[in-house]
Structure 1
Amino acid sequence: MISFNYETDFELPYEQEFTSWISNVIKSESHKEGEINYIFCDDSYLLDINVKYLNHDTLTDIISFDYSVGKELHGDIYISVERVRDNAKDFKVQFIEELRRVMVHGILHYCGYKDKSKEDKSVMRSKEDFYIKQRS
């Protein structure tokens, strides 16, 4: 089950469309959908998590905690709406496209994709682009 939670005044439009889209990504990657929580927040909220749990004193757009069991995906995906807005401006894309990229990025990590090396980043970006185009 995919759920959306809000620690800011942002609300995701068309939640059911996003749920269907993410569910389809998971199926396409040959995984099962478990409990996946998206938590939308602001920079301050996510920075606190980054410092407390990851010992990183930097702003970020997403932090995901993976509780998956085998091919059944479970986890909490925290997204800073402020970072996504700023990144959309910087990358000259619509906010909703950047939001989709970040949302699917977390799921792809749960599916085993990495983004530390240049090659891994390239694969991750290709997958993100593919699934953004496949949205419901």
Structure 2
Amino acid sequence: MNEPTLQIFNESSVSIPLDQASARKIISLIEEQEEVTFAFVEVVYVDEDEIVLINMDHLDRDYVTDIISFKYDESPEGNSGIEGTLFCCAPRISEQAEEFGETTENEFRRILIHGLLHLIGYDDQTAEDKKRMTELEDKYLSQFQENK
């Protein structure tokens, strides 16, 4: 299996505690267990103002959020060659880590996992969907930590 192209950009004022190797490991875990393949994943860390602009422009929502996922290919059999961009609000993720009593590293990992799950088709619009995504985030975060 070819390794996906992974690009990480930090356009925020926050130091990002997630390196390429860790991100690749997370991608591999999800590919293996969800039986999907990623071809291209771009992760862009931005500040609050930028995430609000993206949220307004694309989702008509005027608030700060931790992540917005864009999948390029919307084909129904989209389990191979998945491509997408994850816009992550670095300051918000850092705040959430503190709010949840989580390490900053783990919260950044969780948000990456969350975005990747969105790219493969998971949703969090209902309480049941949100619960399922949280369970998967916990599972992959735990597996990542066991195999570090």
What are structure 2's unaligned runs of at least 5 residues?
A: none
CA distance in 2, matches of 1:24, 1:132: 10
> CA offset at residue 44 of structure 1?
1.0
Distance change (3 Å), C-alpha of 1:51 and 1:119: same
Of residues 98, 110, 117, the one that matches 1:108 is 117
Q: Deviations over 1:64-89 (max 9, x none)?
A: 11113521211000001100011111
Partner residue of 2:54? 49
The more displaced of 102-111 and 7-16 is: 7-16
> CA offset at residue 27 of structure 1?
2.4
Partner residue of 1:14? 19
8 Å contact from structure 1 (residues 26, 107) kept in 2:
no
> CA offset at residue 35 of structure 1?
0.8
8 Å contact from structure 1 (residues 84, 99) kept in 2:
yes
Q: What TM-score do the two structures reach when normalised by structure 2?
A: 0.85
> CA offset at residue 108 of structure 1?
0.6
- Residue 96 (str. 1) matches residue 100 (str. 2): no
Q: How many residue pairs align between the two structures?
A: 136
Partner residue of 1:65? 70
CA distance in 1, matches of 2:88, 2:120: 18
SS at match of 1:36: strand
Q: What TM-score do the two structures reach when normalised by structure 1?
A: 0.92
4+ residue runs over 6 A deviation: none
Distance change (3 Å), C-alpha of 1:59 and 1:99: same
CA distance in 2, matches of 1:97, 1:36: 19
> CA offset at residue 20 of structure 1?
2.2
Partner residue of 1:86? 95
User: What letter matches 1:65 in structure 2?
Assistant: F
CA distance in 2, matches of 1:5, 1:81: 11
Q: Deviations over 1:14-70 (max 9, x none)?
A: 321221222221222100111110001111111111111211101100001111352
SS at match of 1:79: strand
- Residue 130 (str. 1) matches residue 134 (str. 2): no
RMSD: 1.4
